[in-house]
């Protein structure tokens, strides 16, 4: 990405603006609504109960009055006495029914007609609620006849105006409303502030830190510092910090790789030129009649040729990705021999070089790529053998191979110290597997990539005294139609 492109990008995280209502405001409104709803659910049965209790109180007072007056049962009460009783009860009439006989205890001169009758003995909860809302909504100067129990199986009835009852019920409702508003307001304010403290503020902090970090993810000081909370927010902070740290490492590694890629391209470019000059000079060697020179000159030329082709391929491909293999049948014994010659192992002073590949073994592979795979493995083994200082140690490097069906298995064995534990973890990963001073950790990664391109596998066998690397290369699959045709012909 060029700098020009970067400047056209919108600022990361810059456009995220919170909506008109933040989280706390939304919760504030919701809390008010929920508390009001809860209060409403409590209010409905309680107003019904309030009305029922109001009527029961009247009936009880009436019962006490009727009992007190029953002394003079035989006589009707004087109008003055009746007026006093009814005044006390705030009623138009009071009557009792005992043993099936109804007796009017007191009554005003002109009682208004009865509009509703409420029998307190048969008032289930739903009916009580209905009656209460009837009083509140439609109640307007109507007259109620309330009936209740009186002395065992008798009954008492009081006729009164619903106005007083309705006024009491309205006052009760108003008190409940004021209480609800106060409770919901208080709850909402408490929820609002606790939410701000517990959730919104820490989240804003995380958001701000993330925005700052996004502007320069490579700046380690911008990584979020977890607050140490032991709840979900604390966990989120820790996870974000881990993620940022991980991304920071990945970015650092990527930048290193990009820089390295550029450096490799530059080196590769000039190396190709230098190799081409070396090839020119080596061409002249071929004309020297010395037998030793004659033996080595073609090998030197072939190796230089290989190196130039590879350098050219990397350059024209633009990146260090391998070209797909160009597979042919190769005499493996000869290829291993070339690897030995290039590394100078057959003439090595202390390492015994064994090319144990059967001379008639053929492998279906890209010769240059397989050469590079084996060169890397043989070089590693030679380096491992050279490192062990003890003169009494056997230093043998063997390359063996066998064909099983359509798969060729190649083994590179040495009697060295074996692959160190540290190197085993990331053995085939670029830049990560090296445990050798001066090693780049690329050799095995390249070898693995090339083998995989052949559809094969590479691995470290566990059974060696030294190190044993095993490669399996399957032949190219033969199209079924071709096989049938060749059989038929």
Ligand X SMILES: Nc1ncnc2c1ncn2[C@@H]1O[C@H](COP(=O)(O)OP(=O)(O)OP(=O)(O)O)[C@@H](O)[C@H]1O
- Which residues bind to Mg ion, rule: CB under 5 A? 380, 443
User: 């209010």: which residue's tokens?
Assistant: 43
Least Å distance, CB 442 to ligand X, is: 4
Beta bridge partners of 412: 399, 469
Least Å distance, CB 433 to Mg ion, is: 9
Least Å distance, CB 460 to ligand X, is: 8
CB closer to ligand X, 24 vs 381? 381
Shortest Cβ contact with ligand X: which residue?
439
CB closer to Mg ion, 118 vs 444? 444
Least Å distance, CB 444 to Mg ion, is: 6
CB closer to ligand X, 51 vs 381? 381
Least Å distance, CB 439 to Mg ion, is: 6
Which partner, ligand X, Mg ion, none, binds residue 442 by CB below 5 to 8 Å per kind?
A: ligand X
CB closer to ligand X, 200 vs 320? 320
In angstroms, the CA 307 to CA 279 distance is 10
Which partner, Mg ion, ligand X, none, binds residue 337 by CB below 5 to 8 Å per kind?
A: none
CB closer to Mg ion, 202 vs 443? 443
Shortest Cβ contact with Mg ion: which residue?
443
Which partner, ligand X, Mg ion, none, binds residue 63 by CB below 5 to 8 Å per kind?
A: none
Least Å distance, CB 219 to ligand X, is: 32
Which partner, Mg ion, ligand X, none, binds residue 456 by CB below 5 to 8 Å per kind?
A: none
What is the DSSP code (8-state) at residue 117? E
Strands of the 93-98 sheet, one edge to the other: 101-107, 93-98, 154-161, 143-150, 116-119
In angstroms, the CA 358 to CA 372 distance is 20
CB closer to ligand X, 20 vs 437? 437
Contact between 378 and 353 under an 8 Å Cβ cutoff? The reply is no
- Report which of 356, 379, 465, 353 is spatially closest to residue 416, judged by C-alpha positions: 465
- Report which of 120, 64, 115, 123 is spatially closest to residue 92, judged by C-alpha positions: 115
CB closer to ligand X, 342 vs 444? 444
Q: Is 147 helix (H, G, I), strand (E, B) or coil?
A: strand
Beta bridge partners of 149: 155
Contact between 412 and 357 under an 8 Å Cβ cutoff? The reply is no
In angstroms, the CA 238 to CA 224 distance is 8
Least Å distance, CB 471 to Mg ion, is: 15
- Report which of 99, 108, 95, 102 is spatially closest to residue 69, judged by C-alpha positions: 95
Least Å distance, CB 474 to ligand X, is: 24
Least Å distance, CB 336 to Mg ion, is: 17
CB closer to ligand X, 362 vs 470? 470
In angstroms, the CA 468 to CA 400 distance is 11
- Report which of 180, 170, 169, 133 is spatially closest to residue 37, judged by C-alpha positions: 180
CB closer to Mg ion, 142 vs 379? 379
CB closer to ligand X, 38 vs 435? 435
Number of residues in the chain: 489
Which partner, Mg ion, ligand X, none, binds residue 365 by CB below 5 to 8 Å per kind?
A: none
> Which residues sit at the interface with ligand X, rule CB under 6 A?
376, 380-381, 384, 414, 416, 418-420, 423, 433-436, 439-445, 467
Which partner, Mg ion, ligand X, none, binds residue 419 by CB below 5 to 8 Å per kind?
A: ligand X
Contact between 180 and 39 under an 8 Å Cβ cutoff? The reply is yes
| Per-residue tokens: 270 | 């000039």
Beta bridge partners of 472: 409, 457
Beta bridge partners of 157: 95, 147
Contacts of 24 (CB under 8 A, 6+ apart): 192, 195, 196, 200
In angstroms, the CA 352 to CA 414 distance is 10
In angstroms, the CA 79 to CA 106 distance is 8
Least Å distance, CB 459 to Mg ion, is: 16
């Amino acid at each position: 990405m060029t700098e020009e492109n970067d400047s056209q990008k919108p600022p990361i995280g810059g456009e995220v603006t919170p909506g008109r209502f933040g989280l706390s405001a939304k919760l504030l409104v919701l809390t008010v609504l929920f508390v009001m709803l809860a209060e409403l659910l409590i209010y409905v049965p309680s107003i019904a109960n309030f009305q029922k209790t109001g009527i029961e109180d009247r009936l009880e007072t009436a019962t006490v009055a009727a009992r007190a007056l029953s002394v003079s049962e035989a006589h009707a009460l004087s109008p003055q006495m009746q007026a006093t009783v009814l005044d006390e009860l705030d009623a138009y009439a009071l009557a009792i029914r005992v043993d099936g006989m109804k007796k009017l205890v007191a009554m005003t001169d002109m009682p208004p007609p009865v509009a509703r009758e409420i029998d307190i003995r048969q008032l289930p909860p739903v009916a009580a609620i209905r009656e209460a809302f009837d009083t509140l909504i439609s109640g307007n100067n109507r007259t109620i006849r309330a009936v209740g129990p009186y002395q065992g199986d008798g009954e008492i009835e009081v006729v009164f105006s619903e106005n007083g009852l309705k006024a009491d019920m309205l006052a009760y409702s108003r008190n409940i409303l004021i209480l609800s508003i106060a409770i919901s307001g208080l709850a909402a304010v408490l929820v609002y502030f606790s939410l701000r403290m517990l959730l919104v503020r820490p989240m804003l902090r995380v958001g701000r830190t993330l925005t700052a970090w996004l502007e320069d993810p490579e700046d380690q000081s911008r990584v979020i510092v977890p607050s140490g909370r032991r709840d979900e927010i604390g966990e989120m902070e820790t996870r974000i910090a881990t993620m940022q740290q991980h991304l920071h490492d990945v970015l650092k590694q990527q930048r290193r790789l990009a820089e390295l890629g550029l450096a490799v391209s530059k080196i590769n470019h000039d190396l190709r030129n230098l190799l081409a000059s070396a090839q020119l000079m080596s061409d002249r060697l071929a004309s020297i009649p010395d037998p030793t020179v004659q033996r080595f000159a073609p090998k030197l030329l072939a190796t230089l040729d290989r190196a130039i082709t590879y350098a050219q391929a990397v350059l024209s491909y633009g990146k260090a990705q391998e070209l797909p293999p160009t597979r042919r049948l190769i005499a493996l014994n000869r290829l291993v021999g070339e690897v030995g010659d290039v590394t100078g192992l057959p003439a090595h002073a202390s390492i015994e070089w064994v090319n144990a590949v059967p001379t008639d073994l053929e492998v279906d592979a890209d010769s240059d790529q397989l050469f590079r795979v084996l060169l890397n493995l043989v070089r590693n083994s030679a380096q491992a053998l050279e490192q062990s200082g003890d003169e009494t140690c056997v230093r043998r490097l063997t390359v063996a191979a066998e064909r099983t069906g359509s798969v060729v298995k190649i083994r590179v064995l040495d009697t060295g110290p074996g692959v160190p534990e540290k190197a085993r973890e990331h053995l085939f990963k670029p830049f990560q597997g090296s445990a050798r001073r001066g090693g780049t950790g690329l050799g095995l990664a390249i070898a693995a990539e090339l083998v995989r391109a052949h559809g094969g596998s590479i691995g470290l066998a566990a059974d060696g005294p030294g190190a044993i690397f095993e490669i399996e290369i399957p032949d190219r699959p033969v199209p079924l139609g071709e096989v049938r045709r060749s059989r038929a012909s």
